[in-house]
Structure formats: C-alpha cells, structure tokens
Amino acid sequence: MKILVVDDEEDVQPLFLQRFRKEIRNNEVELDFAHSGEEALEYLKEKHSEVVLILSDINMPGMSGIELLGHIREDFPTPPPPVVMMVTAYGDEENYKQAMEKGANDFLTKPLDFNLLKEKLKTISE
Amino acid sequence: MHFFPFLAAFLLALRLNKAIKFTALRAKWRWPLWGIAALAIGGFILCDDNFEDRVSCIIAAAYLLGTIEYLKRQDDFKSFSILLTAHLPLVAAALINGLAELFVKNFYNNYGSFFVSAEVAAFVWIFIRVATSKKQQQVIKRISERKDELEAMVAARTAELTNQRNALEETVKELKATQAQLIQQEKLASLGELTAGIAHEIQNPLNFVNNFSEVSMELIDEMEAEIAKGDMEEANAIAADIKQNLEKIRHHGKRADGIVKGMLQHSRASSNVKEPTNLNTIADEYFRLAYHGLRAKDKSFNAELVSNFDEHLPLVNMVSQDVGRVLLNMFTNAFYAVHQKQKTIGGDFKPKVEVSTRKIPAPPSGGRGASVEVIVRDNGTGIPDAIKDKIMQPFFTTKPAGEGTGLGLSLSYDIIVKAHKGTININSKEGEGSEFIITLPVS
C-alpha cells in the first residue's frame, strides 16, 4: 500500500519511516513524501493511480492542505479515488467542517497517534 | 549754670528707662539708669553746696559727657545715638560757660547772660532734636512696616510658586510612571497576541521530541530482538537510526528552548544593546507567531503567508527584541486588516500577507551607508485618507474599545526612527491594502 505524506516539516519523514519500519520491511506499506501542496500535486500527476492514501497537513506555507484536497478531488476523480486524511495541530470545528466539505475521508490531530493510524490503515487495506 | 547738664543727665536717664520699660533691656539697665539719675541729683546738690558755679559747670559738663560717652559705647543703646548726640551741644555750652567763668572772669561778668542763654538753647535743642527724631522714627517705622508687609507678600507668593512647582514635578513624575506602565502594558498586550502563536510553535517541536523518543524505545526493543537472532547488520542499522533520533530530539528540544527564550526576551524590559542581527530570522519568527496568534483566537481565519527574504541581507546592528516588537506589530496589523476585510466581503476574498526584505546599497554620492528594507504588505482594508495622519499618534486606534492600546505604531515609530535612525513609510489605499516599509541603516 502506497502512502503519500504531505507536511512542510522535514523531520516528519524519518519519523514516519521509523514508525512504519516493520511494515515497510514486510512490504506492507510504502511511504513517499512531499513537503508542500504543490510538490504533492506534481507527484500525484504521475503516480496518482498507485497512491492509496494521502496524509496531508493542513497548515503549510503556500497551498494549504485544504486547497490540496480540493485539487485532488477535482484532478484525480478516477476510481478509486485516493483516501485522504487531513492532519492538523488545530483540531477545531471550522477546519474539520472545511475538510469534510471538500471530501476528506478522515481528520486527525497532531500529535499523531500512530497506533490509531495503523488501526485505520488496516481497515483501509481490508 | 551747672543746673542744665545735671537736669539733662537726669531726664536722659528717666527717658531711657521709660523707653526700655517693656523690653528685655529693662532687667539689665533699670538700676544703672536710676543710678545715673540719682548721681545727677546728688551731683547737683553737692556742687551747689560746695563749689563755685564755674567749677560746678565743668563738673556737670564732665558728668553729662561721661554719661553720654558711656551709654554710646553700649550696644544696647545703639538705637538712641541721635538722642545721646543731641546732648553734646549742652556739654559744650556748659564747658565753655565754666571755662569762661574761670579764666575770663570780667568778660563773663559782662556777657554772662549770653552764656546762660546758650546753655538754655542747647538744653531746648535736645528736646527739639528728640521731637524731630521721633517724627523720623515714625516715618522709618511706617516704612519698615510697609517693608515687612511687602516681604510677607513676597514670601506668600514664593510659597505659592514653590507649591505649584512641586505639584507640577509630582505630575511629571506620575506621567512618566504612567508612560512606563503603558509601554509595559503594550508589551504585555503583544505578548498576549503571541501566546497562542508560541503555544503552537512549541507544540510542534514537542511533538517531535515525544514521537522520536517513543519510536526510539520501540527501536531498542527491536534491536535487542535482532541481536538475539544474531542479525548484527540489522541491529547496527537500528542503532544508527536511534542515534539519528536522539539528534532529532536534541534539535527539536533546542528549537522549543529558543522559542521560550525569545518569548522571555520579548516580555523583558529592553536591554537597549544593539547587536548585529539577522533580520530575516526575526521577521520569519514573528511572521509565523503573529499568524498563529491570530488563528488561535479566531479559527476561521486563514491567510496566505508569502515571504521573500533576501538571502544576502547583511546583518543589521539593532536591538533585536525592540525591532521584533515593531515587526510583530506590523504583522498583527496586517493580519487584522485582511481579517476585517474577509469578515465584510467573505466569499472569494483571498487574504494575503507578504513580507519582503532587501538590501539597499549605499548611495554613490556617499553620506549614508547601506541600509536594509523590510516591506510588510497586505491586501486588507487599507487605511482611509482621513486617518492617515493620525495612525502614528499615541492612543489612536481603530479597534473597538479594549482591543487595542493605540500605542503599537507610536512605539514602532519611536523604536525605528528615534532609536535606530531608520524610517517608516506607509503606502495604503482604502479597500485595497497597505504597505509598511521599514528602512534600517546597517550600522
């Protein structure tokens, strides 16, 4: 299962790689990273058919996670559309509402609970 | 005629005694004066009985002269010197009378009445002199009373002025204290704006610290398992990861540390020490803090943050926490302006706040050195022409009561223009946005 993680914080990458160490070794999960909404869209142009899940931060300089979500839903409607989970430090109503309106599948708050995330992954892969 | 000098001495003693009746001198001089009077009577009777007139005259004159000279030498009778001097003609008349009677007896017998008249005249002269001097004294007394009056008025006026001056000094002191308090309040207000932003900025590194330490513990379990299996290669790889994680933990710990330090610095009284500072770092830091601060207050707010930092910006000699406050103020204003516009227009409006830095080389003509420019631009409500002149004034604010101190821009002006010899320029069009341009000399 290919997962794209979008976050402007660079250290998100080693963190995810280690948290999913076992899963990666067992070839259950494959992780790719983008540091901005723009980069994510560029990446998706080529690989949108492979990516099953997109985990995106909302608050990023430039294109916000919500905008990225809008683009994903517009540009890549081909079935099956990727599952998009929004991640944010601001677990507030307004963000949640916006994300859900734009078609997010789930809404997670930072700090990420990786065990919970893994549970959710299982339900997606089943 | 020895009668007049003795009478004069007697009357003089009585007069002086009367004059000092109600003064402190009475106790000291009462008896000596009575003594002088008694001696005068005694002298008169003694002379009258035993001597011829010519000797008596000289004795009487000598007695009067002695009395006068004695009293004149007393400090206590200084104010009576006119009275005392007035007796001298009588002394002279009596003396001449006695001497004439003694040495030019015939002449005296022929013209004796002149000598007596002279003595009488000298005696009368004493009283005339005393009367006129009394008048003079009254005038002097009136003048001195008037003088006292005037002096009292001057003293009263002086006291009044002194009181006024003290009151003014007190007021100035109070004003200074109030000003200091207001500046501190403005700092606290901006700290309040920062708090939410700071919380967010600290949360991020803390998340990393927690996550990396958690994952490292798991990795150690895994490493132990690999070692037990004998897969040393994998165990070493995990060890390398753990080491990397510990570095990350340290990095993010320091990041949080820096933010807290910055916050403390912001709330502390300014040290006023100028140091070479990277303006980009400060601008970037406060840009994000201001944004997150406003976002934390109003979750619906969102804006596009654009930063164009000149990577070759020279270090600027400045009091970083003061300039930081100015930038924070500019950013907060910009976000406030776009937020207000978003609230009124809503819909398609895309709030945008932009910060740019650039170096301005020294003009070839010389005179000034190089400077740097920070531009804070927003597409918010803009500043109406009517209030453009006022926005730098202390206590001027367009915010609802209680929300703004009205000191932000006024303090910014003090910091940039007065303390750093820089400039603040404003371009703004109502409804379209504003642009604040801060220029600071490099050194």
**Residue B203 is assigned to a structural domain of this protein:** no
**Residue B165 is assigned to a structural domain of this protein:** no
State the Cα–Cα distance between residues B428 and B431, nearest whole angstrom: 9
pLDDT of residue B110: 82
| Stretch A42-61: mean pLDDT | 87
Is B248 near chain A, with CB under 8 Å? yes
Q: What does B339-382 look like in DSSP terms, one character per residue? A: HHHHHHH-TT---EEEEEEEEEPPPTT-SS--EEEEEEEE-SS-
Chain A residues with CB under 8 Å of B215 CB are 15, 18-19
Q: Which single residue is written with the structure tokens 């227009």?
A: B345
Chain B residues with CB under 8 Å of A114 CB are 211
**Residue B265 is assigned to a structural domain of this protein:** no
Chain B residues with CB under 8 Å of A93 CB are 299
CB contact under 8 A, B295 and A61: no
CATH number, domain with residue A69: 3.40.50.2300
| Stretch A78-96: mean pLDDT | 82
Of B154, B182, B202, the residue that ends a domain is B154
pLDDT of residue B267: 61
| Stretch A64-72: mean pLDDT | 89
CB contact under 8 A, B215 and A15: yes
Q: Which residues of chain B have pLDDT under 70?
A: 1, 190-194, 196, 262-271, 299, 366-367, 401-403
**Residue B208 is assigned to a structural domain of this protein:** no
Range of the domain at B347: 274-443
CATH number, domain with residue B298: 3.30.565.10
Q: First and final CA of chain A: distance in angstroms?
A: 11
**Residue A56 is assigned to a structural domain of this protein:** yes
Q: Are B199 and B229 in contact (CB under 8 A)?
A: no
Q: Judge if B279 and B416 occupy the same domain.
A: yes
Range of the domain at A48: 2-121
**Residue A126 is assigned to a structural domain of this protein:** no
**Residue B12 is assigned to a structural domain of this protein:** yes
Question: How many domains does chain B divide into?
Answer: 2
To the nearest whole Å, the CA of B349 is away from the closest chain A CA by: 14
**Residue A38 is assigned to a structural domain of this protein:** yes
Of B121, B154, B187, the residue that ends a domain is B154
pLDDT of residue B149: 94
pLDDT of residue B245: 92
How confident is the model over B180-236, as pLDDT tens digits?
Answer: 888 777 777 766 666 767 777 788 888 899 999 999 998 999 899 999 999 999 899
Nearest CA in chain A to B240: A18
pLDDT of residue A111: 81
CB contact under 8 A, A15 and B295: no
ipTM over 0.95: no
Question: How many domains does chain A divide into?
Answer: 1
Of B119, B154, B189, the residue that ends a domain is B154
* Mutation choice for A interface testing from B211, B247, B353 by most A CBs within 10 A: B211
Alpha helices by DSSP H, B230-313: 232-267, 279-297
pLDDT of residue B366: 67
Q: Are B13 and B68 in contact (CB under 8 A)?
A: no
**Residue B255 is assigned to a structural domain of this protein:** no
* Mutation choice for A interface testing from B208, B250, B254, B342 by most A CBs within 10 A: B208
Chain B residues with CB under 8 Å of A112 CB are 207, 211
Six-digit token string for A50: 């492979």
Return the ∠ at Cα B352 (arms to B350 and B353), rounded to 5°.
165
Q: Judge if B304 and B433 occupy the same domain.
A: yes
To the nearest whole Å, the CA of B389 is away from the closest chain A CA by: 35
Nearest CA in chain B to A61: B305
pLDDT of residue B285: 86
